[in-house]
Chain A
Amino acid sequence: MLRAAPFLLMAILLLPVAAGGLATLLPAFGYLPALGGTALSLDPWRALLAWPGLGRAVVLTAGTGAAATGISLGLAVALAIAARRAGVLAVIEAALAPLLATPHAALAIGFGFLAAPSGWIARLAAWAVTGWQVPPDIATVQDPAGIALVLALCLKETPYLLLMILAALAQVQAPARQLMAQGLGYGPRRAWLFGVFPLVWPQMRLPVMAVLAFSLSVVDVAIILGPSNPPTLAVQVLRWFGDPDLALWFVASAGAMLLAGIVLAALTLLRGAEAAVAWAGRQVARTGRRGGSGFDGVTLGGGAVVAIVALAALAVLGVWSLAQSWRFPDLLPRGWTLASWQAQAPGLAGTAGVTLGIGVAATAIALLLAVACLENERRIGHRPHASLALLYLPLLVPQVAFLFGMQALLVRLRLDGTLAALVWAHLIFVLPYVFLALADPWRAFDTRLLRTASCLGAPPWRVLLHVSLPLLARPLLAAAAAGFAVSAGLYLPTLFAGAGRVATLTTEAVTLSSGGDRRVVAVMAAAQALLPLLAYALAVGLPAWRARRRAGLAVAA
């Protein structure tokens, strides 16, 4: 049964992606019999090219995606170098968890509340400097260039990439290599870039690709903070798919395929850029120049800005949710009240319950499958190398490129709006994160403990239950928290698999995000952020509580 696990895992991930992708690809070339498209044609592409906003939308999409990825990666690398100082590392580790836990939508909404012309920053400016009585007429959010979109993405992606770098560092004896290179007289930054980074990069490649693909095709953040005339391609595709004029489905499918093409091109360019950077790096390394002493002020400043802005975005959600009346240019609300929470409480409880239920179910199944696969891998004794990349596929293919096709299939199977469909749709995105979070600790586990247990006469299931799982509780819970946070933040998959009938905190928050009452939006977004934060708190707190009487656990996992 265990041997079937990897195939089951791949089927769960790839079947909907492949089938959904095909069900989007065919309409892009005019084939969708249900809507009268029975012959292949290029008409959808002609219609797409005829859309006046196409050029600007493509430039906007590519520009925001590339900028968000580039800035996030640069900052994450710089912070990883600065993290050689123990004090910096401690601060980073403390700040990382809440930022990773917060869903994109909640952070984007909070960022909007900060950066809007009537937001906290402008209020601060009005109070301190400008004396504005009405908000300035400046497009600080939903700006035509998508700057707000890029910045909000950086708030989420920098911590993620930093986490990936820190995890990779642990496997390459980074401190020793750093010291060795510094011993040769290299400055700390060069020592890291030449001595450590080349070893870290192979493990960074897939996460960076995932960030790039995500930034190019993100929908919820782009709806909340991106420009709308034209919007990014993903949002425009969503508009076309949602249009009652069904002829636009063909255009939407073509647009989705164009977006998939843009992502593919960007990923290819990334590989090219990688080779170019590696070549340039070798040239510089050959000169033997040692580099400076490594002043980290700018880096730490950038990191601090990311952390402070992100935390302020969360704080402003809390303030708005408790505000009675808070008009520009007041720095703080005139009065405080729980009324917004109380008014939303009845609906909120149900919605939070649904969010929790789907998240827990998807995470539990993902954990089961991941454990089964890893346990199988250990027993058969080899890693399925090829399939590892496939695991990332749902994270590399734009969601709009297969979710619509998948929805059409779900409708055909009469599964749309069912809990099973939702959990499956979430599983597609939860599973990769859970598997990747669990794989390294699982593979690094000291097998002598397992051999000892076996030789003591414990059958494999008992070894798994009483040795592997308890000792890997920390990474298991961390993987669970990561998986749950992913599920709690999913917008498009929930929208489509749920047939719109199933509301989660995310769909509610995004739906309301354009609404007029910030207090209500804040309640939704705060609740959306709260659930995964609690999950992370549990993932940190439970093992600590369990380890209180077992000193060996503090170092075991």
Chain B
Amino acid sequence: MTLTRRRLFAAAAGLGAARPAAAAAWAEIERAGRGQTVFWNAWGGDERTNAFIAWAAGRMAGDHGVEVRHVRLRDTAEAVTRVVAEKAAGRSAGGSVDLIWINGPNFLAMKQQGLLHGPVLDLLPHAALVDREGKPATLVDFTVPTEGYEVPWRMARVVFVHDAARVPAPPRSMAALADWAVVHPGRLAHPSVRNFLGATFLKQALAELAADATVLQAPATDDNFMPVTAPLWAWYGAMRPHLWRGGRNFPDSGPSLRGLMNDGEIDIMISFNPSEASVAIANGTLPPSVRTFVLAGGTIGNCSFNAIPFNAAHKEGALLLCDFLLTPEAQAKAMDPAMMGSPTVLALDRLAPAERKRFDDLPRPPATLSDGELGRPLPEPHPSWMTRIATAWETLVNA
């Protein structure tokens, strides 16, 4: 094991120059992390992700003597709140949260308030394998540079899933989707915008409908928010009465949206996982007739990260876990349609042939699009847009 690590550091240096200092530091982390219990705070609403985390926990126990406990969150904000509460109570060490699966506004909030430990990314031997050039989203979280405070672990991409038996030719733009909803009342739903996927649904629409999408890359302001989002609200207002339950109720999350699809309550749904349809068909949570499609104008892509709170009690164990998640083995496992089907964050051309084979051998089921069909991802807007959209939506539906 140590030997492979050394070789990896050598590879990481890119030019074959050994980095003994880094290797020694990592050896120290490995020693300190052994025997720790890492509380990984990760949204627990998705069974397949839970199963992957359980698998990773099993491997961590075996390989590193690290016990990984999955703290199943209803909402990632719960973990953020906990860290904030601990800081407010003056607990700057021995905190209860060791690692958070985090993105976007939650990351921004923690980074701005100095609640994160780091930078950590380049401590990890396997960070060298991350495809930073080909997948810039691994370094930028919703336009906010991660600056090494976050470790990528899975790629995400907006896709839509439709029941091909009922909707043979799905609409290919958000505008067309609204028209479709008007003709098929009650057959389209999106998750509550309190949920990240629900917010993504509106952001995807905004990316298409905004007069100039480039303004979304900068923080929203009091002055530009309403003008920029006006087309979005017009579009949404016209569509909302024709949504599932008349646009008065919304499923809580992606999985509950999938449940509606599986029950036949809706015909089209959004997803953040390109393999969602295939994985769900395989485990019986979607009917075999579902297929995946993307929009003609492109769809938003991003990356899921893990971050370590400043006061985490088991930072070394958390680092070991972050590194393990970047191993080709773990990445291939995550990408396996039988597991999560999450696209990898690694640069496949940088892998040894044997490692690369793990990915090449993965099946590509009919409900999954090829990379070519997916096209290049659209960038995420700045988190402030998501926060403001969620607030505005909240006011809209509660009024």
Contacts and interface: CB of A to CB of B under 8 A. Distances in A.
A and B touch in the complex (CB under 8 A): yes
Interface of A: 34-35, 51-53, 56, 116-118, 133-135, 137, 139, 142-144, 227-230, 239, 241-246, 324-325, 327-328, 343, 346-347, 407-408, 411-412, 414, 416-417, 499-501, 503, 507-508, 510-512, 514-520
B285 A516 contact: yes
A52 B75 CA distance: 23
A227 B47 contact: no
Contacts of B192: 228-229
Given A52-B399, A515-B47, A501 B249 contact: no
B256 A514 contact: yes
B395 A52 contact: yes
Contacts of A407: 85
Contacts of A230: 398
Contact of A500 (B54, B73, B194): B73
Nearest to A33: B88
7 contacts: A135-B263, A137-B265, A327-B264, A412-B89, A414-B91, A512-B72, A514-B45
Contacts of A417: 96
Contacts of B30: none
Q: Which of A241, A243, A416, A516 has the most CB of B within 10 A?
A: A516
Given A137-B265, A327-B263, A328-B264, A227 B249 contact: yes
Interface in B175-205: 185-186, 192, 194
Nearest to B257: A516
B39 A516 contact: no
Nearest to A503: B72
Nearest to B185: A137
Q: Which 7 A-B pairs have the closest CB atoms?
A: A53-B398, A34-B88, A516-B255, A118-B263, A137-B186, A514-B252, A516-B258
Given A139-B245, A228-B250, A501 B259 contact: no
A139 B248 contact: yes
B251 A137 contact: no
B54 A347 contact: yes
A436 B301 CA distance: 57
A515 B259 contact: yes
B285 A244 contact: no
B357 interface: no
Contact of A134 (B39, B264, B285): B264
B250 A134 contact: no
A24 to B, nearest CB: 13
A488 to B, nearest CB: 18
Contacts of B254: 516
Interface in B45-98: 45-47, 50-51, 54, 69, 71-75, 77-82, 84-86, 88-91, 94, 96
A242 B262 CA distance: 30
Contacts of A414: 91, 94
A512 B49 CA distance: 12
Contacts of B253: 514-515
B397 interface: yes
Nearest to B58: A346
Contacts of B397: 229
Given A34-B88, A246-B84, A518 B259 contact: yes
A540 to B, nearest CB: 34
B244 to A, nearest CB: 7
Contacts of A116: 263
Contacts of B14: none
Q: Which of A142, A343, A500, A503 has the most CB of B within 10 A?
A: A500
Contact of B248 (A144, A324, A510): A144
B331 interface: no
A311 B106 CA distance: 42
B96 A56 contact: no
B249 A243 contact: no
Contact of A327 (B84, B283, B287): B287
B24 to A, nearest CB: 33
A176 B161 CA distance: 68
A501 B285 contact: no
Contacts of B75: 242
A515 B85 contact: no
Contact of A501 (B96, B106, B250, B251): B96
A501 B41 CA distance: 8
Given A408-B85, A516-B256, A520-B47, A239 B262 contact: no
Contact of A243 (B81, B88, B245): B81
A124 to B, nearest CB: 15
A228 B252 contact: yes
